[in-house]
Structure formats: structure tokens, C-alpha cells
Amino acid sequence: MASPQPIINTPETSTTNPQTTSLPDSDSNPNKRRKIAHASPAHAEFLNHINWTSQSEQQIYSANLLRTLRQVLRRNPSPSTTPSKSRQVRYAADRVLAAAAKGRTCWSRAILSSPPPFNLRRLHRHKKAPDAKKKVTGLRSLRNGTEKRKLPAVQRKARVLSLLVPGCRKVSFPNLLEEATDYISALEMQVRAMTALAELLSGGDSPSGLAAESLS
Amino acid sequence: MSSRRSSSRSRQSSGAPTSAGMTDAQITDLVSKLQQLIPQLRSRHSDKVSAAKVLQETCSYIKSLHREVDDLSDRLSELLANTDSNSAQAAIIRSLLM
């Protein structure tokens, strides 16, 4: 049963203000991005990003991190399959940080979708891939001769940066810069929060000392 | 229909500096914003710092941040293992955080 007037279903904003930022269906983010792109893509992207320097953001992160870490460290699985505690903590800290980004950045989505760290044997299997890449670059240097052995400096460093920021290997250069900016702010907040947590946990010397003595 | 954000963003496969979508001015603007974040380059004027230098400092800064986070997670894993059974201290920490 088709509706008698299907055309009226389209919202009024699309006909009157094509460049408005407030769309009724804000879930369709690609449409929102396309319309804002005509105005100023860089600034619009920054408006969506989290303020990593705010005190509340850091407190929320610390609370979430502590809760997650206590859950993680309470489990005692077989030591052969799980990585070291330090790596578990690092993994949990990164995931909580990525969750704080609320899916707005490429690096946060990449962290949340990457699998948990596993046995060392699996890591060795992945090492075969870089060898294949080395052969290709060797052939390239032979073809080009002596002139263009290396890429321009900016491209080289951009590639290194894309490897450092998670999930940004195939991202365009301007987006890579944006991701790096947000990632650095997030990492700084992570360092501040974890430092504060470590200070709290080690600052109370007498209670923690008593707890350690009671355990041993 | 299912246009993901990553496919709409990445117009080029490699990290080439010039992309069809953005102007050079916007790229320069982003580079200067990045420069402001990095503590080593913050005091210098933007005229003297090249993009390659900013990228290099960014890479080394991210690496140092990663190392810091690794050290902190080492520390936290030891500290939390000790105080895990001490629920009173955990309550104190929770009350301080919120």
C-alpha cells in the first residue's frame, strides 16, 4: 500500500537550506559529511571530536579504566595462552581510550576492532608478510636506478606516521593529520590519567604496604 | 548504500601529500595545528618549521607517548596486583575519582 503523497515525506530543510548542518536523520553520517564538506571540513571534524584536555573526560576515563582493569586482572586463566599483565593493562587502557572517542575517529575504531593480544606464536606467523614486501622494494630500487631510490621526505614521514596511528595506513594525508592530532591529545590524556592512577595507588604507602605484608 | 567512512575518506591508497579533495592551505593549517600540540615545536615560529620536520617530531612524540603508556601499564599491573584484594583502598580511589 503506497502512501498517497510520498514526496511530502522529504524534510523541509533539504529544499530550503541545502547547506544546513542539522539534518533530521543525523544517523546518516556520510550525507552530513558531504554537505558540510562544502563549508569547512577540517573545522567541522574538530567540532565532533572529544575535548581530551577537560578534567571530566579524564575522570571518566580513570573510572572506566580502573573498573576494566580490576575485571581484567581478576581473571586467572592459564599463563601459557595469555600475555603478560603489563600487556593486558596496556590493551585495556587503549580500548577504554578508544571507547571514549565514541567512534568518531579512525584510530579509535581500529583499536576497538583489533583482536586481543594472544600467544607469542601467533605473532611469529605474521612476520612472514614483511619479508614479501622487502622483495618488492628491492626490485623497485633496481629499476629506478640511483635517482629516485627514496620517496620525498614528507611522504616518507607521512608513511611512518600512518603506521604509528592505528588504523590509518590507507587514509588520505589531510585526514591522517587530523587523526594524528586527535590521537596525540588522547594519548596525552591517557598518560595523565594513568600517571594519576599510579600515584594514587602507590601514594598510600601504609595501606598498600600492609596489604602486601598480609598477602605474603 | 553502505558507504563507510573509511572508503569515503581515503581517496588515495598511499599517504601522498597532495590529495584531490583538500587545498594546500587547509593542509598547512592542519600541520600548524599539529605543530602546536608537540611540546618541542610549540615555541618555534611556524615559518621556520617545515612540514617534514613537524611530521618527524610527531612520529617521535607518538613513540615516546607509547613508551610512557607501556611503562605506566607496567607500573599499574604491579600496583593493581598488590591492591586487588584490598577493597577498602579501592573504595577510597573510587571516591576520589568521582
- CA A177/CA A171 separation, integer angstroms: 10
**Measured CA angle at A207 (ends A201, A213), to 5 deg:** 110
For chain B, 98 residues long, the average pLDDT of each consecutive 10-residue run is: 48 46 82 88 75 91 95 88 63 65
Nearest neighbour of B58 by CB, restricted to A180, A191, A202? A180
Which of A9-13, A82-86, B49-53 has the lowest average pLDDT?
A9-13
Q: What are phi and psi of A20, to 5 degrees?
A: -70, 150
Q: Is A203 on the interface with B (CB under 8 A)?
A: no
Rounded to an integer, the average pLDDT of A67-92 is 79
Residues 162-191 of A with CB under 8 A from B: 162, 164-165, 170-178, 180-181, 183-185, 187-188, 190-191
Distance from CA of B54 to the nearest CA of A (A): 9
Q: Which residue of B has its CA nearest to A176?
A: B15
Q: Which residue has the cell 612540514?
A: B51
**Measured CA angle at A83 (ends A72, A115), to 5 deg:** 75
Distance from CA of B46 to the nearest CA of A (A): 16
Residues of B in contact with A158 (CB under 8 A): 15-17, 55
Total CB pairs under 8 A between chain A and B: 193
Nearest neighbour of A184 by CB, restricted to B5, B55, B62? B62
Q: List all residues 6 or more positions away from A75 whose beta carbon is below 8 Å from its beta carbon.
A: none
Nearest neighbour of A93 by CB, restricted to B15, B73, B98? B73
Q: List all residues 6 or more positions away from B25 whose beta carbon is below 8 Å from its beta carbon.
A: none
Contact A159 B14 (CB under 8 A): yes
Residues of A in contact with B67 (CB under 8 A): none
**Model confidence, pTM:** 0.66
Nine cell digits for residue A81: 595462552
| ipTM score assigned to the predicted complex | 0.73
Question: What pLDDT is recorded for position B11?
Answer: 45
| Burial category of A166 from C-beta neighbours within 10 Å (exposed 0-12, middle 13-18, buried 19 and up) | buried
Nearest neighbour of B3 by CB, restricted to A30, A185, A195? A30
Contact B5 A181 (CB under 8 A): no
Angle between the N-to-C axes of helices B24-37 and B51-83, in degrees from 0 to 180, rounded to the nearest 10? 40
Highest-scoring range by mean pLDDT, A22-31, A47-56, A122-131:
A47-56
Question: What pLDDT is recorded for position A205?
Answer: 47
Q: In this predicted model, what pLDDT tens digit does every residue of A145-179 receive, in sequence order?
A: 555 567 788 889 999 999 999 988 888 999 999 99
Q: Which residue of A has its CA nearest to B13?
A: A170
- CA A72/CA B81 separation, integer angstroms: 11
Q: In this predicted model, what pLDDT tens digit does every residue of A177-201 receive, in sequence order?
A: 999 999 999 999 999 999 998 888 8
Question: What pLDDT is recorded for position A85?
Answer: 83
Contact B62 A183 (CB under 8 A): yes
Q: Which residue has the cell 544546513?
A: A20
Q: Which residue of A has its CA nearest to B23?
A: A174
